[in-house]
Amino acid sequence: MASTLAQKIYSRIPDIFALPTLIDVQTESFEWLREEGLSDLFDEISPIESYNGGMKLFFPGNTRESRDFGLKFWFEDPKHDIDECV
C-alpha cells in the first residue's frame, strides 16, 4: 500500500525580509572599503621589509609608524562624471 504524504505549498508563505537593492549593497561595501577596509589592509601588510632587512616600506594606516611619518591616503574627485561613463 502506498501512503500519501501531506503536500506543502511554500509559494503562499509571505516574504519575511525585504531584500535590499544590489546597488545599495555595493555602495555600502565600497564606503566601508574607503573608510576602514584599506586602513586595515595596509596595517596587515605594512611594513614590507627587504630581504636583508636594510629597507622597509610603510603604508598609510593606523600603525604608530604611519602616524609618525605622516602617511595618509585620499580619494580625489573622479575625472569623468556618470553621464560620460554611461
Where are the chain's structural domains?
A: 35-86
Rounded CA separation 23/29 (Å): 10
- Other CB atoms within 10 Å distance of the CB of residue 69: 11
Rounded CA separation 79/56 (Å): 33
Structure confidence by residue, pLDDT tens digits, 51-71:
999 999 999 988 899 899 999
Structure confidence by residue, pLDDT tens digits, 26-46:
999 999 999 999 999 999 998
List the grid coordinates of 23: 546597488
Structure letter (DSSP) for residue 80: S
